[in-house]
A and B are shown apart, each in its own frame.
Chain A
Amino acid sequence: MELLIAIAVMALGAVVLGAALGYASIKFKVEGDPIVEKVDAILPQTQCGQCGFPGCKPYAEAIVKGEAEINQCPPGGDEGVRKLADLLGKEYKPLSAEHGEEKPKAVAVIREETCIGCTLCIQACPVDAIVGAAKQMHTVVESLCTGCELCLKPCPVECIDMVPVPETLDTWKWKYPVIEIKPAEGRKAA
């Protein structure tokens, strides 16, 4: 009898806990892969495709699936690679040369007198930062441009230049304190 009660109690417990777990798995189901979101948050969202994937999100997915290395994002730079390595528990690797190199931030500028209004750059811009219409002059909204360079190639008249963003009082940063290395007094005399 005692044996039966014990079995019944255990069985009841199993059913109740199973039901709770089953309910929780439906109620608190996580949509999508949270790790992809985390990787995507580290990527710079330039959508430049230099990594070989059509956008930052696909690259994030490929990294998580193990189909891509973490060092294929030049706009994210060395710091981005380090962050990804930290997040994913992978070994840090220097930025791979075949995917390009880290450059100072630049924005595309259309030489407006040369622009023929073909709209090809508008179609190429992944972040809708170019305004214009067919046979009308186009221009880049500087504050929205991510500097992905995707508009350079489609332009038939090569009127788009990448212009580095100059430092202003708003973007100026205090530098990392460095210790000036000076020759010792004795050496100077010698």
Chain B
Amino acid sequence: MLQKLFKFKGGVKPAYNKHQSVGTPIATAPLPSRLVIPLHQSIGGTPQPVVAVGDKVLKGQLIGAADGWISAAVHASTSGTVTDIGPYLVPHPSGLSIDCVVIEPDGEERWIERQPLDYRAMAPEAVRTYLQQSGVVGLGGAVFPSHAKLTPSRDVPMEELVINGAECEPWITCDDLIMRERAAEIVSGIGLFRDLLQPKRVLIGIEDNKPEAVAAMKAAVQTAGEPFEVLAVPTLYPAGGAKQLIRVLTGKEIPAAKRSTDLGVQCFNVATAWTAWRAVAHGEPVINRIVTLTGNAGKPRNWEVLIGTPMDQLLPLAEPAPDTDGVIMGGPMMGFLIPAPDVPVIKATNCLIAHSPTLFPPKPPEMPCIRCGECARACPQELQPFELYWWSRARNFGKTQEYSLFDCIECGCCSYVCPAHIPLVQYFRFSKSEIWAREKDKKMAEGAKDRFEFKQYREEREKAEKAEKLAKAAAAQAAKKAAEAAAAAGSEASPAPPADDPEAAKKAAIAAAMARAKAQRAAVQPRNTDSVSPDQAEEIAAIDARRQQAGLEPPAPSPEPAPAAAPDGKEA
């Protein structure tokens, strides 16, 4: 079937450098001496560890339970002993440490009990939860929890499901190889996604520089008898960006500040479909992934690697040349140099490139912008990077947002073409994180203000209440005094001292207080005499009578409770 393909604006054609690592099939990397598994491996909440130091774990055992809906579980990649839970360096441009679970493998690779899941007989909600518990996240690089993306929107009907096999970044070939070798499982995974989302069409986009992958996927789709369309898209970086691929395959352009789901499109990476299928059909959570080892290396190749494998134990498999001076995680366009050689492989690690000054010559120093506009021509998001650059440089963040900073996908095309070697993307990342930090601060300030104002209000209220109480007490006191004075003047014509004598007033007050206390005591009635049955009332009366006879109690004002109780008793 012939399908019209669309185009996106801009894009660049860097040297692809993919041929080095596609010559040999995927191999399984040997078991490392230890595994460092970060708990936070997806966008969203950080999973809490559910194992303790010293615990024996099995391959595939849950070690971090998902925290909230936008979060995915983390599992032990092999069987062994948990030796530590604490902060370790992770592959992140910040060079910061986060909590990791360290496992010393026992070499037995003992699995948890694995059971295939008959997902067709289950409620979609249960399948989504299962995928979350299996740690299925987007393996294209963004590691967004897949189950959340597999929830169809309520108000927009799902039109197209786009499967991303474009793999546009230079050097990386892990998706190419997985499509060549495991196409059948990928197609089954796509079938799972299709069943959950119910789209009208399923489009699989693969860049046309991977003819073997296209052929393998086409064959697998045909064998499975699925109506999926496998399409070779023109090779142009960044055709593998979700928004760009959606544009090429469906012609839909996602407006600023909208998501593809608002237009009825959802996009998944091919490797994600594979892991989802492994989870459903084999009960295997995401504990490994395909990683391309390439760059300044003697034996570039794709390896199936356990999550948590330290990179310094992995990279020697590719036999990096002696002049290697660093490792890039990801591609040369969007990747970054890892902060230390022993950081672990995470779910987002698609490629490790041995870096050398000859392969990646240092960028010449930044020169002033010459207003050539090359960056705007290259921008696949149709932004104006030069404007964004000026405003970012001037730290005028309001203006950067007016120029749609947050539509930038950080693909690096602008930096790639800039003749003045300006690190444009770095400026944009700086602006974005500053804006996010400011937003956070603002939210905090608003909360603090609310609480401050409430505290002031509360203090005012307490003050007012106290004042009111005092005023009431004073008024009562004055009234009582007046009454007592009147009583003293009226009844006690005896040789009492004059009423205005303070001593007498005090005495009178004490006497009055005692009288009040007496009256109060008399007024207090046994509590549980309400709603007693007539029999009980009689009994009480009899007891009281006996007491009186025994002279234990003066004739008490007791007749009241009994009659009061009587009607209740009658009702009952």
B437 touches A171 (CB 8 A): yes
B40 touches A47 (CB 8 A): no
Chain B residue at smallest Cβ distance from A129? B451
Chain B residue at smallest Cβ distance from A105? B441
Given A173-B434, A176-B430, A167-B96 contact (CB < 8 Å): yes
Within 8 Å of chain B (Cβ to Cβ): is A117? no
Q: Given the complex of chains A and B, what is the CA–CA distance between A5 and B449 in angstroms? A: 60
Counting chain B CB atoms within 10 Å of each CB, which of A43, A175, A180 scores highest? A175
Q: Given the complex of chains A and B, what is the CA–CA distance between A172 and B96 in angstroms? A: 9
Residues of A within 8 A of B94 (CB): 167, 169, 172
Counting chain B CB atoms within 10 Å of each CB, which of A47, A172, A174, A176 scores highest? A174
A144 touches B447 (CB 8 A): yes
Say how far B10's CB is from chain A's closest CB, in angstroms: 22
B96 touches A174 (CB 8 A): no
Q: Given the complex of chains A and B, what is the CA–CA distance between A189 and B253 in angstroms? A: 56
B452 touches A127 (CB 8 A): yes
Within 8 Å of chain B (Cβ to Cβ): is A25? no
Q: How large is the interface on A (under 10, 10 to 19, 20 to 34, 35 or more residues)?
A: 20 to 34
Within 8 Å of chain B (Cβ to Cβ): is A26? no
Name the one of A126, A127, A129, A177 contacting B427, with C-beta atoms under 8 angstroms: A177
Say how far B71's CB is from chain A's closest CB, in angstroms: 14
Given A128-B454, A128-B455, A179-B365, A174-B432 contact (CB < 8 Å): yes
Say how far A170's CB is from chain B's closest CB, in angstroms: 9
Chain A residue at smallest Cβ distance from B365? A179
Residues of B within 8 A of A168 (CB): 96, 98
Counting chain A CB atoms within 10 Å of each CB, which of B98, B441, B455 scores highest? B455
Chain B contact residue count (CB 8 A cutoff): 32
B449 touches A56 (CB 8 A): yes
Q: Given the complex of chains A and B, what is the CA–CA distance between A169 and B93 in angstroms? A: 10
Residues of A within 8 A of B449 (CB): 40, 45, 56
Given A169-B92, A177-B427, A179-B365, A45-B445 contact (CB < 8 Å): yes
Q: Given the complex of chains A and B, what is the CA–CA distance between A144 and B432 in angstroms? A: 25
Within 8 Å of chain A (Cβ to Cβ): is B423? yes
For the complex, would chain A's binding face be called helix, strand, loop or mixed by DSSP majority? loop
B98 touches A144 (CB 8 A): no
Q: Given the complex of chains A and B, what is the CA–CA distance between A144 and B446 in angstroms? A: 11
B447 touches A177 (CB 8 A): no
Chain B residue at smallest Cβ distance from A82? B395
Given A173-B433, A177-B430, A46-B448 contact (CB < 8 Å): yes
Say how far A103's CB is from chain B's closest CB, in angstroms: 15
B437 touches A144 (CB 8 A): no
Within 8 Å of chain B (Cβ to Cβ): is A44? yes
Given A168-B96, A173-B433, A179-B366 contact (CB < 8 Å): yes
Within 8 Å of chain A (Cβ to Cβ): is B201? no
Q: Given the complex of chains A and B, what is the CA–CA distance between A45 and B454 in angstroms? A: 13
Residues of B within 8 A of A43 (CB): 445
Say how far B379's CB is from chain A's closest CB, in angstroms: 18
Within 8 Å of chain B (Cβ to Cβ): is A146? yes
Q: Restricting to B94-110, which residues have a CB under 8 Å from any CB of A?
A: 94, 96, 98
Chain A residue at smallest Cβ distance from B446? A45
Within 8 Å of chain B (Cβ to Cβ): is A55? yes
Q: Given the complex of chains A and B, what is the CA–CA distance between A154 and B447 in angstroms? A: 24
Within 8 Å of chain A (Cβ to Cβ): is B429? yes
Residues of A within 8 A of B430 (CB): 173-177
Residues of A within 8 A of B426 (CB): 174, 177
Q: Given the complex of chains A and B, what is the CA–CA distance between A45 and B442 in angstroms? A: 9
Q: Restricting to A45-102, which residues have a CB under 8 Å from any CB of B?
A: 45-47, 55-56
Residues of B within 8 A of A177 (CB): 366, 423, 426-427, 430
Residues of B within 8 A of A175 (CB): 430
Q: Given the complex of chains A and B, what is the CA–CA distance between A46 and B452 in angstroms? A: 9
Q: Given the complex of chains A and B, what is the CA–CA distance between A85 and B71 in angstroms? A: 43
Given A176-B430, A177-B427, A177-B430, A169-B448 contact (CB < 8 Å): no
Residues of A within 8 A of B447 (CB): 144
Residues of A within 8 A of B433 (CB): 172-174
Residues of A within 8 A of B440 (CB): 171
Q: Restricting to B76-129, which residues have a CB under 8 Å from any CB of A?
A: 92-94, 96, 98
Say how far A121's CB is from chain B's closest CB, in angstroms: 14
Residues of B within 8 A of A55 (CB): 452, 456
Residues of B within 8 A of A180 (CB): 365
Say how far B559's CB is from chain A's closest CB, in angstroms: 46
Q: Given the complex of chains A and B, what is the CA–CA distance between A55 and B446 in angstroms? A: 14
How does the 8 Å CB contact mask read for B401-426 relative to A, with 1 for contact and 0 for none? Answer: 00000000000000000000001001
Q: Given the complex of chains A and B, what is the CA–CA distance between A171 and B444 in angstroms? A: 13
Residues of B within 8 A of A174 (CB): 93, 426, 429-430, 432-433
Residues of A within 8 A of B365 (CB): 179-180
Q: Given the complex of chains A and B, what is the CA–CA distance between A29 and B418 in angstroms? A: 54
Q: Given the complex of chains A and B, what is the CA–CA distance between A173 and B98 in angstroms? A: 16
Q: Given the complex of chains A and B, what is the CA–CA distance between A127 and B446 in angstroms? A: 11
Q: Given the complex of chains A and B, what is the CA–CA distance between A31 and B449 in angstroms? A: 19
Residues of A within 8 A of B96 (CB): 167-169, 172
Q: Given the complex of chains A and B, what is the CA–CA distance between A56 and B109 in angstroms? A: 61
Q: Given the complex of chains A and B, what is the CA–CA distance between A43 and B365 in angstroms? A: 39
Chain A residue at smallest Cβ distance from B94? A172
A126 touches B423 (CB 8 A): no
Name the one of B92, B427, B448 contacting A47, with C-beta atoms under 8 angstroms: B448
Counting chain B CB atoms within 10 Å of each CB, which of A45, A47, A55, A175 scores highest? A45
Residues of A within 8 A of B456 (CB): 55
Residues of B within 8 A of A46 (CB): 448
Counting chain A CB atoms within 10 Å of each CB, which of B395, B447, B449 scores highest? B449
- The 3 A-B pairs with the shortest beta carbon distances in the complex, nearest first, are A45-B445, A173-B433, A174-B429
Q: Interface on A for B, CB 8 Å cutoff?
A: 40, 43-47, 55-56, 126-129, 144, 146, 167-169, 171-177, 179-180
Known: A167-B96, A177-B423. 15 other contacts (CB 8 A): A40-B449, A43-B445, A44-B441, A45-B444, A45-B449, A55-B456, A127-B452, A127-B455, A144-B448, A169-B40, A169-B96, A173-B434, A173-B437, A174-B426, A177-B366
Q: List 28 A-B contacts (CB under 8 A).
A: A43-B445, A44-B445, A45-B445, A45-B449, A46-B448, A55-B452, A126-B452, A127-B451, A127-B455, A128-B454, A129-B451, A144-B451, A167-B94, A167-B96, A168-B96, A168-B98, A169-B94, A169-B98, A171-B437, A172-B96, A173-B437, A174-B426, A174-B432, A175-B430, A177-B427, A177-B430, A179-B365, A180-B365
